[in-house]
Amino acid sequence: MSHFRSTIDPIEAFSLRGDMLREQFGRWDDEDPICHRLLDLVEAQNEIADAIDDDVNYGFGGDAAIKAAVAKRTEAACKLMAALNDRESWPEPYRSTI
């Protein structure tokens, strides 16, 4: 059945979701290390997009800049995984729920 299929383009839906969540991000727990690692990952992802844009549209940076941005994202992802697994560093209310 297609009664519940979305008519929103997946890319538009992604952007909409980001816009809706961005307003509230940080309000719920600015002491949570997971939040900080998530922001690091988003920042690194933005740097990849910027490096690709710089290469394609302006002809500078090239493969070296893209590879450096990907390495930064990989490092940020590893730090996020470490923070997810280090429950002792989580704020008290979250530690007791796991």
> What whole-number distance in Å separates Cα of residue 56 and Cα of residue 13?
26
Helix/strand/coil for 57: helix
Average pLDDT of the segment spanning 41-54: 96
pLDDT number for residue 49 = 97
- The pair of three-digit structure tokens given for residue 95, joined into one six-digit string: 């530690």
Q: Mutual orientation of helices 62-85 and 33-53 as an angle, nearest 10°? A: 170
- The pair of three-digit structure tokens given for residue 98, joined into one six-digit string: 């796991």
**For the chain, domain boundaries:** 29-95
Helices (H) and strands (E) in the chain, counts: 4, 0
Query: Mean pLDDT across the chain, nearest whole number?
Result: 86
Average pLDDT of the segment spanning 26-36: 75
pLDDT at 27 over 70: no
**Looking at the whole model, is its pTM more than 0.85?**
no
